[in-house]
Each structure stands twice: as structure tokens, then as C-alpha cells.
Amino acid sequence: IDRFFSIKFFKKTALISFFIVFLLLLSVFIPWINFTYGGANRWIDLGFITFQPSELAKIGLILFSAAWLTTRKKDIKSLFKTFIPYLIIIGIPLVLILLQKDISTFFITSITLFAMIFLAGTKIKYLSGVGIIITILVVIAIFVFPTRIDRVRVFLDKEIDPQGISYQVNQSLIAIGSGGITGRGLGMSNQKFSFLPEPSGDSIFAVIGEELGFIGSLFVMFVYLILFVEGIIIAKKANDFSQLFIYGFITLVIIQVFINIGSVTGLVPFTGVTLPFVSYGGTSLVALLIGAGIVARIAREQ
């Protein structure tokens, strides 16, 4: 991406990206190609490849939003010319994501996209109303889908059903606690063998904590801080479209980092959010690498 595609290419194809995202999200509801796991229809199975469209949608919607908001620069503070049309346009794929019972992706993507229009210059009072709507939708979704209620219950009381609904978060805390200050050593985790669910996915930060300890965990968070600062530095020198894209991308990454680390440490309800660039998750990793490639291209063109 960094080598073969220009930023002009991404800007010109942003609308195409939006329609591709829309069609992929719709395809999840086609019975003969969708793949259901844990009661959720989030994946497309083409036989030779299985992927999660909502992960690709994150980057596609950031790309589209950066391009669309740039064209509305003169009317960015207008409620009827910019904010409401933007709300309607991005609301369609967001609703499709919510219908897939993917509350975490809905929440993360919503916050990212509305952070982008805020940074583009819209009025804060418009966002406050949308924030209330998003909160209401998330609360409704939690009560509609029983497994989400269980996650909230575990967040409030981690001792509830330790061999059942609170098993993963408790095993994560055991892993982190057993790592101590310096950790057991790279590759020496005990919890990742048979005890800790998803040790290479959602719970990978717990494995990092066990193997590398408190110091290693801080180092990983420091690396994310460096990526954040470097992204801001690149964005400051970029034009409107590139700047908005970078802001959207680093917002997405930081939110995912916070939720993933917060989940395994019990600071937020446990979710299936991956740790960016670290967790094993094919579609998520591909989407993040596409975003990182675009940022690298922006830096190259500067």
C-alpha cells in the first residue's frame, strides 16, 4: 500500500470503499455464505477464506469519512448541510454492524467516526445528542443479547460463577498477577496452556503480563504511546484529507488498546476486541495494516 498507491487514489476511491463496505456488511445476512459463531452472524465463509466484514468496515468508513468531511469543509458547522447527512450516511452501516450483535465494533466505530467530525470542526452540541442515542442503543443491545448482560454482571462482580461466565477475566487476572514485576520469561506462560481462553487473541495482553511482567506490559503500552504521538506529528504536517484519516485511525487504535487492556485487567466489561497489531485475528490485523499502510504513504508523500 505504501509503495504502490497514492493518497489521491484513496481519496478518489473513498466512495467506492463505502459501497464495498456496505455490500460486505449486507452479505453477512446471506444464509449460504455467512458463518455463525457464538450465536452471532459476523463472518463470511467463501470456502477458501473466512473473514469479518465489520473489521474491514472500520477502515473503509474512516477513509470515506475523511474524504466526505473534507468536501464539506465550508459547511462543516451546518446541522442540515453536513451533520445530519453524515449521521444518516454512516448510520446505515453502523446499524448493520449492530444487527450482527457486534456491540463492541459498533461502539468503537461510532466513537471513531464522531471523533472525526468533531475534529473536522462541527459543533459540540450536535455530538452530545448523538452520544445519548449511541448510549441508549448500546444499553438496549446489552439487554437484548443475554451474553452481554453476563459480561456486565461479571464486571460488577468478578466472583460470580468463577468456572462459568467470569472464567476468562479471572484467568486473565491470574496470568497478569503471576507475572509479577519482571515476568516468567518469554514463552514461559502457564496460563495460556488450557487455562486462559483466546491466549493469542482477546487475552494476549494477559499472556504478555505473565511472560514479561509489569515492566514488559508498560513497555507495550509505551510503544502504543509512541505510535500515537508519531501519528499526531505526521497529521500536523498533512493536508485536510490525510490529517482527518490519521486522526480517525489513531483514535480507532487507541480505543481498541484501551478496551482490550481494560477487559483483561477488569477495568471494563470483557469484549472480543483485539489488541492492535499484536492479537491473532486475521481480518482485524489486515484492516489495521491497511490503515497503517495509508498513514505510512501519507508520511512518504510529505
Distance between CA atoms of residues 78 and 258, nearest Å: 32
Residue 240 has which C-alpha cell? 485536510
Answer yes or no: is 2 within a domain.
no
Answer yes or no: is 75 within a domain.
yes
Residue 26 has which C-alpha cell? 449486507
Please report the pLDDT score of residue 144 as a whole number. Answer: 75
- Does the pTM of the predicted model rise above 0.85? yes
Answer yes or no: is 251 within a domain.
yes
* Number of domains into which the chain is organized: 1
Answer yes or no: is 258 within a domain.
yes
33-to-132, 158, 243 alpha-carbon distances in Å: 35, 38, 37
Residue 23 has which C-alpha cell? 455490500
Answer yes or no: is 1 within a domain.
no
The tens-digit pLDDT sequence of the chain (302 residues) is 777 788 999 999 999 999 999 999 999 988 888 877 666 678 888 888 888 999 999 999 999 999 999 999 889 889 899 999 999 999 999 999 988 888 889 989 999 999 999 999 898 888 888 888 888 887 887 777 767 777 777 777 777 777 777 788 888 989 999 999 999 998 888 888 878 888 888 889 999 999 999 999 999 999 999 999 999 999 999 989 999 999 999 999 999 999 999 999 988 888 878 999 999 878 899 999 999 999 999 998 87
Structural element, H or E, at residue 41: strand 40-45
Answer yes or no: is 119 within a domain.
yes
34 strand-pairing partners: 44
- 254 in Cβ contact with 231 (< 8 Å): no
Answer yes or no: is 180 within a domain.
yes
Q: For residue 167, how far is the Cα from the chain centroid?
A: 24
3-class secondary structure, 278: coil
Answer yes or no: is 27 within a domain.
yes
Expressed as residue numbers, the domain containing 269 is 7-301
259-to-66, 107, 177, 205 alpha-carbon distances in Å: 24, 11, 19, 11
Distance between CA atoms of residues 239 and 167, nearest Å: 48
- Please state whether 103 falls in left (phi above 0), alpha (psi between -120 and 50) or beta: alpha
Please report the pLDDT score of residue 207 as a whole number. Answer: 94
